[in-house]
Amino acid sequence: MNKTWKIFEYGYLVIAIVFIVETVLHWNIDREKAYLMLLFAVVAIFMYFFKRRFRKRIQNRNK
């Protein structure tokens, strides 16, 4: 189960990187879309740290 949680954690980082790349590519073309992509990247990074802290808390509780 912990391996699955780690995979999902890193999946959020991959999604954040994709959204950051999309932000850079759309910055001069469509600024509103770029801001939206940047918001999604920030949310994905937040979810990474949230899920990581939650997983570690569960691991410490199970010890």
Report pLDDT digits (tens) over 5-57.
Answer: 889 899 999 999 999 999 999 999 999 999 999 999 999 999 999 999 998 89
Q: What is the secondary structure of 1-55 as a DSSP string?
A: -HHHHHHHHHHHHHHHHHHHHHHHHHTTT-HHHHHHHHHHHHHHHHHHHHHHHHH
Domain boundaries, the chain: 2-57
pLDDT value of position 6: 85
Helix (H, G, I), strand (E, B) or coil at 57: helix
Residues in the chain, how many? Answer: 63
pLDDT at 1 over 70: no
Taking the model in full, what pTM does it have?
0.85
